[in-house]
Amino acid sequence: MSSAAELPTSAESSSPEELPAAVSLPSGGGERPGTAGIPDATVARLPVYLRALYTLAERGVSTVASEELATAAGVNSAKLRKDLSYLGSYGIRGVGYDVEYLVYQVSRALGLTQNWPVVIVGAGNLGRALANYGGFLTRGFRISAVLDSDQAMVGRELGTAIVRHASELEAIVTSNGVAIGVIAVPAGAAQAVCDRLVAAGVTSILNFAPVVLNVPEGVDVRKVDLSIELQILAFHAQRRSAERFGQAAGRAAAEA
């Protein structure tokens, strides 16, 4: 395992300086029962529902019909009603769902009724954007520290956290009871960082590095690869462009 001094500084590729308004985390698994009997696919949609509910609450909406909430979340209303039934929420016929209470139910199911201590490893462009994102605190997450091996970064204030040296990783995880680690370092350093987080007792990791991490049983890793998401969007853009070209060619042929 690499020592802290051997870890490269944070990812400085083409990562944005500001965190996108909504980062869609990749969902996992199929319909096997998940925590508390909720299927994994339902768990993956709950954050989407919560985001839509927050938007409604900010607009002052107190109740919402299943059709309206489903449209906002991008699913069909039958699927939404089934998902929410796992939480014991069925709405009221002719009235819909109470937005405030549904926010509580979804938040409780996701474990967001407490502030989860999070440590971000890597204070490059992406790490700084994550640390400065103000939405974490209101969504149940508290950034305990940002770590980097670049001494020039140590001591800088990022959001509500102070950058600490990577050599302090284990001590910070222990003293703050860190539950979630975020890896925002280059691919070559990601596995070493992951190994240290796991050895320190972190069992939930969000990985932004473009590499597959090897972890022991009982450790959950979620991977966010923005380049893959862009490539998928490029595929759909190319397909739509080809369809428009085909339609234009068909009209030209018909008019000839």
> Residue 214 is encoded by which pair of tokens?
């090897």
Higher pLDDT among residues 90 and 173, named by residue: 173
- State which fold the 4-21+114-224 domain adopts: Rossmann fold (3.40.50)
The pLDDT, as a whole number, for residue 20 is 37
Boundaries of every domain in the chain: 4-21+114-224, 35-110, 227-256
Mean pLDDT computed over 53-82: 93
Q: Which amino acid is at 154?
A: V
CA distance linking residue 117 with residue 185, whole number of Å = 19
- % residues pLDDT > 70 (the chain): 85
- With tokens 């802290």, the residue in question is 4
What residues are paired with 220 via a beta bridge? 204
- % residues pLDDT > 90 (the chain): 58
CA distance linking residue 111 with residue 49, whole number of Å = 15
Select 35-110's CATH number: 1.10.150.530, 3.10.450.630, 3.40.50.720, 1.10.10.10: 1.10.10.10
What residues are paired with 142 via a beta bridge? 117
- With tokens 């969902």, the residue in question is 27
- In contact, 144 and 88? CB cutoff 8 Å: no
Cα–Cα distances (Å) from 111 to 22, 81, 85, 137, 182, in that order, read: 19, 21, 17, 14, 18
CA distance linking residue 197 with residue 203, whole number of Å = 8
- In contact, 162 and 154? CB cutoff 8 Å: no
Q: Of 11-20, 57-66, 86-95, which has the strongest mean pLDDT?
A: 57-66
Mean pLDDT computed over 180-189: 95
Is pLDDT at 22 greater than 60 in this prediction? no
